[in-house]
């Protein structure tokens, strides 16, 4: 497909991608539900569940915690049974990468914000299986056996920034930092620049809610400032934020209306992304930074989806993937 599309005008490329995706949908096994049907909860397991927004002004942006994509090198020196760092065999690593790549392909997204990517080798394994994503950026923290964020994009990268070294005030005093990189990537998209922030806030294992709240406050301020600096850009935050709507961290992100949680126009029964002890929780999110004076990009109402296989995760992960469609500024 990449060779076929090379050198073609953008409008032709997007039309061809859409036709190919819908052909995959038509050939899929029975039980594959239309991606735009209200109440859809189960992802297709063969073929494509739908095409990207796919024209000059629309973008589909997805976020997906792939669940511990460790490569075949033991970086921490502790990779035995019960240790944190997994050490898959080459065959097991290839199988995991294959399944994740198949799941990502079915999302039909132009940009994918990833979580729990261990190394550049892990990201390279996904990108090599997804040639439509010609551009990839890893937000590496540099720690051994880190599970980092990354961005895959069909559109060229203009600029990248990291924010992990920024000091974040804690509610009770003192400071902290982002648990993983808050990765900022500027993309050369049709119509206007698109800026995505890939995030993965502090988990609830050995919970530290004060740190997660500090991350949310810091992310709000950084993203709102970026939206002011680039008023014509589409600015989107996405990732595993490890908290649910109405929690202090998400309330902090939504304070003053600067950031819109795009899943807020969908029923709660459709937006959950992770099941913990039978409790279905929406912890993976997409946010749109509202433009200055009505400028900037827009969310396509009703387009948010949490995509899962059955009643569990997606693509071999324990998390669902989420996506939504957006319109770049005219």
Least confident of 37-46, 91-100, 162-171: 37-46
Question: Residue 200 and residue 147: Cα distance in Å, rounded?
Answer: 9
**Selected residue with higher pLDDT from 146 and 46:** 146
Whether 159 contacts 135, CB under 8 Å: no
Per-residue tokens: 132: 């439509």
Looking at residue 253, its pLDDT comes to: 98
DSSP state of 308: B
**Selected residue with higher pLDDT from 147 and 278:** 147
pLDDT in tens, 92-126: 999 999 999 999 999 999 999 999 999 999 999 99
Looking at residue 8, its pLDDT comes to: 32
pTM given for the model: 0.86
pLDDT in tens, 12-33: 334 334 333 333 333 232 333 3
69 forms bridges with which residues in the sheet? 117
Half-sphere exposure of 171 (CA within 13 A, CB side): 13
Which residue, 72, 71, 51, 104, is CA-closest to 319?
A: 104
Whether 294 contacts 287, CB under 8 Å: no
Looking at residue 88, its pLDDT comes to: 98
234 forms bridges with which residues in the sheet? 194
- In Å, how far from its chain's centre is CA 223? 16
CA triplet 280, 200, 117: central angle to 5 degrees? 105
Per-residue tokens: 167: 């000091």
Per-residue tokens: 260: 């819109």
**Helix H or strand E encompassing 150:** strand 148-153
Average pLDDT for the chain:
86
**CATH for 56-327, options being 3.60.10.10, 3.40.50.2000, 3.10.310.30, 2.170.120.30:** 3.60.10.10
């Amino acid at each position: 497909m990449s060779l076929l599309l090379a050198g073609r005008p953008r409008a032709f490329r997007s039309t061809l991608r859409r036709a190919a995706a819908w052909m995959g949908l038509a050939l899929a096994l029975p039980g594959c539900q239309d991606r735009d049907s209200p109440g859809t909860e189960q992802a297709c397991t063969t073929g494509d569940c739908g095409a990207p927004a796919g024209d000059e002004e629309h973008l589909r942006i997805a976020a997906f915690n792939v669940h511990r994509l460790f490569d075949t090198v033991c970086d921490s020196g502790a990779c035995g049974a019960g240790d944190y760092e997994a050490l898959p065999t080459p065959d097991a690593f290839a199988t995991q990468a294959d399944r994740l790549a198949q799941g990502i392909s079915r999302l039909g997204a132009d940009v994918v914000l990833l979580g729990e990517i261990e190394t550049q080798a892990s990201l390279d394994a996904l990108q090599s299986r997804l040639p439509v994503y010609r551009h990839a950026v890893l937000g590496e923290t540099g720690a051994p056996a880190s599970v980092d964020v990354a961005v895959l994009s069909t559109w060229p990268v203009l600029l990248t920034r990291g924010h992990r070294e920024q000091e974040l005030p804690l509610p009770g005093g003192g400071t902290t930092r982002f648990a993983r990189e808050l990765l900022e990537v500027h993309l050369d998209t049709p119509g206007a620049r698109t800026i995505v922030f890939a995030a993965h806030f502090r988990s609830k294992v050995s919970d530290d809610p004060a740190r997660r709240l500090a991350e949310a406050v810091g992310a709000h301020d950084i993203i709102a400032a970026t939206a002011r600096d680039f008023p014509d850009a589409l600015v989107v935050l996405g990732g595993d934020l490890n908290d649910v709507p109405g929690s202090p961290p998400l309330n902090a992100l939504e304070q003053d209306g600067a950031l819109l949680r795009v899943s807020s126009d969908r029923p709660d029964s459709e937006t959950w992304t992770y099941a913990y002890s039978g409790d279905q929780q929406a912890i993976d999110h997409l946010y749109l930074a509202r433009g200055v004076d009505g400028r900037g990009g827009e969310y396509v109402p009703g387009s948010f989806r949490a995509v899962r296989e059955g009643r569990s995760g997606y693509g071999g992960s324990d998390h669902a993937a989420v996506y939504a469609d957006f319109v770049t500024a005219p």
